[in-house]
Amino acid sequence: MTGLDHIVARHATAEAFARFGTVYDLDGGRDEKVVWTDGNSWRDGFTHKPLISGSGHLGMTSGAAAPWRCAEMERHLGTEEAIFCAGAPVVLAVAPASAAPAPRRDEIEAFIVSPGQAVVMDRGVWHDACRGLTQPTAYFWMAICGLGASPWVPVEGGPLLVLADAGQGAIA
């Protein structure tokens, strides 16, 4: 989980991400949470159940590249939020849902979300905006909007450096 001064993102898998939500693999053809169909030189997959509960809004965010200092996070108590790539992998930093007024630095984890995957954060999971794995990158998100403010809150314990791989150095 958290080292003294940084964390290293790991690939989002169903097992690794379970305490924060659900991972769907729409590219590999083996996810049992996905319905698969084949056609004339194409393959299709869609989630067995709706991606989020309720009628979600589709949004897009553009983020700088990793590494970065995760200094503040937001959470959504009234909706799940799905994250999926627009074309290149992104890094998502999260902290568990809690009744606490701020995310705790020692509970932050980071995950690489690859094209073909969707991750759905449970209600109340703290998260930062995603950053590109190797370059500035845009990504899509889906959530129910208009449910009230989701303020950005400083991380309890101070900022934490998020690295996309163990070989990355510190940033200014």
Q: Can you give the pLDDT at residue 166?
A: 67
Fold annotation for 6-163: Jelly Rolls (2.60.120)
Mean pLDDT for 23-48 is 90
Q: Can you give the pLDDT at residue 137?
A: 96
Its pTM stands at: 0.92
What is the domain partition of the chain in residue ranges? 6-163
SS3 82: strand
DSSP 8-state assignment for residue 170 = -
Each residue of 67-94: pLDDT tens digit? Answer: 999 999 999 999 999 999 989 999 999 9
- For residue 162, the Cα-to-chain-centroid distance in whole angstroms is 13
Q: Can you give the pLDDT at residue 2?
A: 45
Written in H, E and C, the secondary structure of 87-140 is CCCEEEEEECCCCCCCCEHHHCEEEEECCCEEEEECCCCEECCCEECCCCEEEE
Tokens of 164: 């996309």
Each residue of 112-156: pLDDT tens digit? Answer: 999 999 999 999 999 999 999 999 999 999 999 988 889 999 999
